[in-house]
């Protein structure tokens, strides 16, 4: 699920004909770095629901097993539970998201949020889908609702931080990600995003410390390895 780089709308392209070869090469390198960082942030946001996918599949398999393998049936109205319905809709929406059916995922998760408006998980998932669809304002509102319901949910704070990075507001991202880091200081996605926020603010020493922390937790982490290698090559 590709998204356009938001910086493309904010930075006017220079007149290439008037630039020296050295400056052209520098600009090309800078653009490649921006694109690479944006792609990494976008991919991290899109992977934020991966654990929920396996949980959703497990729940559906369990439901099928309990039914004895019979064809799926609708339940009597008297037996319906809005909470259970919302959970099933949430699972379905997550699967649609990973099938790149973003429009359908949005509608399903919106229905889930109507059935259970007190679920921080559903609002967080809906915000991720809104972000993938480029509906930033709706995404922010959904993330805020998730935070109001559960201000200590790491996934919500982390995703809001990623959104702030994509919106080129690293100060806001840093504040949100530090909150997430206080709750779960061993979260690799949070540490990587914190490093990106510090890097965006020109605080490269702090970013390096965070990448090293990631390597200490997960020595095989490719992203931290790549950034550290790039930094030491540029020195």
- CB-count exposure of residue 185 (10 Å: 0-12, 13-18, 19+): exposed
Instruction: Give the pair of three-digit tokens for residue 99.
Output: 């099938």
Domain 45-65+83-145 matching CATH 1.25.40.10: the answer reads yes
- CB-count exposure of residue 16 (10 Å: 0-12, 13-18, 19+): exposed
Q: Where are the domains of the chain?
A: 45-65+83-145, 152-235
pLDDT digits (tens, 9 = 90+) for 68-99: 443 333 333 333 456 678 888 998 998 888 88
Alpha-carbon distances, residue 203 vs 38, 111, 128, 141 (angstroms): 18, 42, 28, 29
What's the CATH code, domain 152-235? 1.25.40.10
pLDDT in the model for residue 193: 92
Pick from 234, 232, 164: which is nearest to 196 by CA? 164
What does the CA dihedral 144, 150, 155, 160 come to, rounded to 10 degrees? 20
Instruction: Give the pair of three-digit tokens for residue 46.
Output: 């899109």
Is pLDDT of 14 > 50? Answer: no
Q: Which of 29-33, 53-57, 60-64, 200-204 has the lowest mean pLDDT?
A: 60-64
Residues 192, 222 contacting (CB under 8 angstroms): no
* Fold match between domain 45-65+83-145 and domain 152-235: yes
Is pLDDT of 2 > 80? Answer: no
Mean pLDDT of all residues in 129-146:
89
Is pLDDT of 196 > 70? Answer: yes
pTM: 0.58
pLDDT in the model for residue 60: 47
Mean pLDDT of all residues in 7-33:
52
Higher pLDDT pick, 219 / 8: 219
């Amino acid at each position: 699920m590709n998204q356009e780089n938001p910086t493309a709308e904010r930075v006017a392209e220079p007149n290439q004909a008037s630039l020296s070869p050295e400056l052209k090469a520098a600009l090309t390198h800078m653009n490649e770095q921006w694109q690479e960082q944006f792609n990494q942030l976008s991919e991290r946001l899109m992977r934020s629901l991966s654990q929920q996918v396996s949980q959703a599949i497990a729940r559906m398999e369990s439901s099928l097993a309990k039914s004895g393998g019979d064809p799926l049936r609708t339940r009597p109205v008297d037996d319906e539970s809005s909470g259970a319905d919302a959970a099933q809709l949430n699972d379905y929406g997550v699967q649609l998201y990973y099938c790149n059916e973003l429009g359908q995922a949005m509608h399903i998760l919106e229905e889930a949020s109507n059935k259970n408006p007190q679920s921080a998980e559903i609002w967080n998932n809906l915000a991720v889908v809104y972000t993938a669809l480029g509906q930033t304002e709706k995404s922010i509102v959904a993330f805020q609702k998730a935070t109001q319901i559960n201000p200590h949910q790491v996934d919500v704070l982390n995703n809001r931080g990623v959104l702030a990075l994509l919106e080129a507001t690293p100060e806001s991202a840093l504040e949100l990600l530090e909150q997430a880091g206080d709750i779960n200081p061993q979260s690799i996605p949070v540490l990587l995003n914190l490093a990106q926020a510090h890097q965006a603010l020109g605080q490269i020493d702090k970013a390096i410390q965070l990448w090293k922390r990631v390597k200490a937790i997960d020595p095989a982490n490719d992203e931290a390895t790549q950034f550290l290698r790039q930094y030491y090559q540029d020195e």
